[in-house]
Structure 1
Amino acid sequence: MKAVAYIEPMKVEIQDIEYPTLELRDGPGVNPANIGRKCPHGVILRLVATNICGSDQHMVRGRTTAPPGLILGHEITGEVVEVGRDVEFIAQGDLVSTPFNIACGRCRMCKEGHTGVCLNVNPDRPGSAYGYVDMGGWQGGQAEYVMVPYADWNLLRFPDREQAMEKILDLTMLSDIFPTGYHGCVTAGVTTGSTVYIAGAGPVGLAAAASAQLLGASAVLVGDMNKERLEHARTAIGAETIDLSEEGALPDRIEQILGEPVVDAAVDAVGFEARGHGADSAHEQPATVLNSIMEITRAAGKLGIPGLYVTGDPGAADEAAKVGSLSIRIGLGWAKSHSFTTGQCPVMRYHRQLMNAILRDRVQIGKAVNATVISLDDAPQGYAQFDSGVAKKYVIDPHGSIAA
């Protein structure tokens, strides 16, 4: 079958690889302790939609320790074509969404709802994902087929196939960015009447903006340096926007919009490749977003941080940042009694409710993030265009299912 492989910085290619089985094989990035791991609790999916994510782009830029040949892709929606011996409740032919977190459903973390840090799927540390560096080596889903373990626990089945295909560009966002943006808002305490600042107008930031509106925010402000993405945030979502490449202190610019220099809640949808603001916007400053959202969040406010921060960044500007150590103004956060929530979104905490919101026309997340369909063969071009900063969320259609 065909799959998208990371080759070297700024290069991905379509490769022919073996069809998956219900057992982990050796390969690029596979943890040695996971090789030969049998998954009779798993299924094989025929991919209907698999998306390019900003987290993938970090690897493709060479900003992680991802090995050459790693099969990419953790945003997975597909049809069940093979069912393992121990699967009870998922059947062949089911159309399903797959959380990007791989979770066993058996460990303490899973039982407490922390599926982003499952203890049993990655021998090196808590938490795992498909097609991602240091996440256990589970094959990525930017392919024609993929194996999903612990299927009864992980998979979200769509109740009506025809209805699901009509809304597939919305439902494909359930595997990651919609729950991730929503999680950022929930952990930031967004509720009815909240004023919210979202750093970043990429797909996760746009998903967070749409989520803030769904949660009842009275004002949603989005900051970025990409004019095309800011324009999309204004026109598709109705957000207030702040061009961070322009001069002016962020609190002052927020005051111009809200009448006060602070917001109730803030979300970091940028992560470790952040750049400075204004005159410093050409230079990478990985702590910029974290420090700025502490500055503009009211006392006793909350910060949701779904933006990715890594423990290994070979392309960082200084030695400390190469191991994930940033110059964060923790004293400011302490003085203002801020609460911080970081880490992978536990997708299963939200995806069923968000599915229902989509199916009942409460939200059009595909429109909010500008879902744009491409073929599997066009994935390398999609990566290049996404890296250029286009206001699009690329949805790969491996089998022509969406086109049909």
Structure 2
Amino acid sequence: MTGNKAVAYKEPGKVELIDIDYPSFELKDGPGVNPANVGRTVPHGVILKTVATNICGSDQHMVRGRTTAPPNLVLGHEITGEVVEVGPGVEFIKVGDICSVPFNIACGRCRNCKERKTGICLNVNPDRPGSAYGYVDMGGWVGGQANYVLVPYADWNLLKFPDKDQALEKIMDLTMLSDIFPTGFHGAVTAGVGVGSTVYVAGAGPVGLAAATSAHLLGAAVVIVGDLNEGRLKQARSFGCETIDLSKGGPAEQIEQILGVPEVDCGVDAVGFEARGHGHDAKEAPATVLNSLMEITAAGGALGIPGLYVTGDPGGVDEAAKKGALSLSLGTGWAKSLSFTTGQCPVMKYNRQLMMAILHDKVSIAKNVNAKAISLEDAPKGYAEFDAGAATKYVLNPNGYLN
């Protein structure tokens, strides 16, 4: 039997490379697997040999101990791979295909999937709508930071790249299609970004940089990125963004210095529930980003909120935050007639179009997020550096496909 190593969450602040079973076409019991999913057969699935699998900020929430993730949960929902086995129910995907895997697991059969709401599929997670690989409370589908991974409903879920050689040449860009590029694009689209828009993106991590890249792709006139981390702000400036340093105070005054007015047309929250306040030595204040976005987004505008919010946070700053309850100034949003879009990005709504933009050299997402390939064995180091604020998107290379 072929061996399989994987990156697993062990305890707060620690991940480790462990040996796991080679995938089979059945969901087995294990850390985080919903009991109702144990024994679920997957004749519609394929087994992928992982080409690239990325460390995500959403993974970091679990690794910091800010979720109810159990020890030995195999991580990784950003997956690109080569098909090495197909189940008996797979018709169109073939052995040898290189494909992007949307981080949302979707059945393609339920009402929500048919309405393109693949982030909230009704059939893959017994606890709630929506599922993902290697993530707490998402059904227990094994993560892809491994040599091999099972992908269910393969004909529906997989985005096959049209040319294998071309895909491998552009793989550092194409690996971003599994999550952060569509997620950032979704944030920009739902914020109403279009030709001539002024846009503020809160957060210069990989999703924020992907949202800023997307805003440029959508024709924004000015894209402003705010963060407390100067290294990440420098990365945003490297592809034409204006930046504001939130360690010097809130965004309104600094936006006014750039635009002449203290507001923007469109706002994107790419931070989520571990947000900090503004100013020097800012402490965690999880409602800060959403409340500041409501203040600085023009009346009638919209907020795209791809930043992650949870219903259970053991490390929350108070009892309300531990339940995902934040002190939002909803009255401000109501008074200004602002629109809000939250939740998982429905990756399949965007990934093919973004693939074509990459293949035809319309965007350089890997460069913009400062992608760096590292070995699977170096994953713990990558997690530590990313957690320390490195302005880098770490791409794991489990099987030697990447240069």
CA distance in 2, matches of 1:331, 1:28: 42
Q: Secondary structure at the match of 1:316?
A: coil
CA distance in 2, matches of 1:286, 1:112: 32
CA distance in 2, matches of 1:398, 1:250: 41
CA distance in 1, matches of 2:46, 2:148: 10
**Match of 1:292, as an amino acid?**
S
CA distance in 2, matches of 1:47, 1:232: 28
**Match of 1:260, as an amino acid?**
V
- List alignment gaps of at least 5 residues for structure 1: none
Per the alignment, residue 18 of structure 2 pairs with 15
Tell me by how many angstroms 1:253 deviates. 1.1
Per the alignment, residue 133 of structure 2 pairs with 130
Per the alignment, residue 245 of structure 1 pairs with 247
**Match of 1:275, as an amino acid?**
R
Q: Secondary structure at the match of 1:278?
A: coil
Q: Secondary structure at the match of 2:173?
A: helix
Query: Is residue 2:7 matched to residue 1:4?
Result: yes
TM-score, scaled to structure 1: 0.98
CA contact (8 A) 2:176 2:365 kept: yes
Tell me by how many angstroms 1:146 deviates. 0.2
Per the alignment, residue 217 of structure 1 pairs with 220
CA distance in 2, matches of 1:158, 1:290: 37
Q: Secondary structure at the match of 1:211?
A: helix
**Match of 2:394, as an amino acid?**
Y
CA contact (8 A) 2:182 2:350 kept: yes
CA distance in 2, matches of 1:211, 1:201: 13
CA distance in 2, matches of 1:253, 1:375: 40
Pairing partner for 1:228 from 231, 254, 266: 231
* Residues 34-72 of structure 1, C-alpha deviations (whole Å, 9 max, x = no match): 000000000000000000000000000000000001000
Aligned residue-pair number: 400
1:306-345 alignment runs, 5 A limit: 306-345=306-345
CA distance in 2, matches of 1:162, 1:91: 16
CA distance in 2, matches of 1:395, 1:360: 22
Query: Is residue 2:267 matched to residue 1:263?
Result: no
Q: Secondary structure at the match of 1:245?
A: helix
Pairing partner for 2:150 from 139, 142, 147: 147
**Match of 1:398, as an amino acid?**
P
Tell me by how many angstroms 1:226 deviates. 0.2
**Match of 2:260, as an amino acid?**
G
Tell me by how many angstroms 1:109 deviates. 0.4
The Cα RMSD (Å) is 0.6
Runs of 4+ in 1 over 3 A off after TM superposition: none
Query: Is residue 2:96 matched to residue 1:93?
Result: yes
**Match of 1:11, as an amino acid?**
K
Tell me by how many angstroms 1:282 deviates. 2.7
CA distance in 2, matches of 1:6, 1:261: 42
Identity %: 74
Pairing partner for 1:33 from 31, 36, 57: 36
Query: Is residue 2:91 matched to residue 1:116?
Result: no
CA distance in 2, matches of 1:13, 1:71: 10
Tell me by how many angstroms 1:250 deviates. 2.0
Tell me by how many angstroms 1:136 deviates. 0.2
